[in-house]
Amino acid sequence: MENKDIVITSRIRLARNLKNYKFPIKMNQEEAQNIIKEVNSAINRVNLNYKLIYMHELSNLQKSALIENHLISPALAEKNHTAAFLLSPDKKVSIMLNEEDHVRIQTIDKGMSLKECWNLSDKIDDVIEETVDYAFDHELGYVTSCPTNIGTGMRASVMIHLPALSITNQVEKLLYGVSQIGVAVRGVYGEGTKSLGHLYQISNQGTLGASEETLIEKITQVTDQIVEKEEKTREFLKKKNYDELEDEFYRAYGLLTNARRMTTEEAMRLISLVKLGKDMEMIKAADNIDLYNLMTKIQPSNLSSLMGKELLPNEMDNERAEIIRSEFLK
């Protein structure tokens, strides 16, 4: 089994602030607009074709859908007239403006690609810094509003799929262990959110006193160890509980292809099981389906956006089941 089946996405986020400006929590609207204009001008200068989107122009539904697609943070969604973000055409780069810090550069890509994401983030950072003065201390590093981000200002994270460790009740103990060595474990949408579909985010906790390369290497090593544990658990389950596992995978597939109503939590769990069965080569189904993309597509706000209207809870469960059936049976 390859890493890419377990490590779903990689992400680098850089926190930056502009020199001689108050932190976003203390800024007025005019100062916030000046920061947006400065960063937007820096990006436009090199013709990257990034789209500038102001938060006050978006509905609550649109903001929630952007969170579900990991394009903005929940903290940015709470902002209104003082915040905006720049989005690249391929949606791999999102530059959040006036969230917790003046600038949050986020790059995201599939699989274990932290180094590639870092290289892209570094290039975007350089483009901005050519015309914008960052707040920087020669002893501490980049100055940020939260002390845990001082230093490199970098957060390296991976989205990881751990169904076998979850099934065998090992995941909590394992993730608690890595949290003791400076690695944070979060839910699908970051801090304060829960795991859905056996998905977890693993990231560095601190940024001071270590280089970007060192932090990336640390997360890579921890991720490799977790992946190895997940793979060994899958092999053990396949050897010891083949019939039970196969039955559970096909039951999940049966529900996904026949149910007429399904909650987010149930759908995520069942899709996770089918993905596990597919990755373990124990179920012949969903060969042409991007199951992680389907997990994202069936989130509440994405569903409502797809339907073009706010859905009631029962309508949402009905539509979710219909979309899943159509994906599996097409």
Same domain for 246 and 104 = no
Q: In this structure, what CATH number is given to the domain that contains residue 68? A: 3.30.590.10
pLDDT digits (tens, 9 = 90+) for 214-270: 999 999 999 999 999 999 999 999 999 999 999 999 999 999 999 999 999 999 999
- Domain extent at residue 252: 242-329
Residues 214, 269, single domain; the answer is no
Rounded Cα distance, 103 and 194, in Å: 26
Looking at the structure, tell me whether residues 218 and 325 fall in a common domain: no
Those residues whose C-beta lies under 8 Å from the C-beta of residue 255, and which sit 6 or more positions away, are: 262, 270
**How many domains does one find in the chain?**
2
Co-location of 92 and 120 in the same domain: yes
In tens, the pLDDT along 6-47 reads 999 999 999 999 999 999 999 999 999 999 999 999 999 998
Assess whether 254 and 220 both reside in one domain. no
Residue 236 lies in a domain: no
Longest dimension (CA), the chain: 65
Cβ-Cβ contacts under 8 Å for 230 (sequence gap 6 or more): 6, 162, 164, 165
Same domain, 59 and 188: yes
Average confidence (pLDDT) over 167-179: 87
Q: Is residue 219 domain-shared with residue 250, that is, in the same domain? A: no
pLDDT greater than 80 at residue 192: no
Residue 237 lies in a domain: no
- Shared domain for 209 and 290, answered yes or no, is no
Judge if 271 and 204 occupy the same domain. Answer: no
Pair (70, 127) in one structural domain: yes
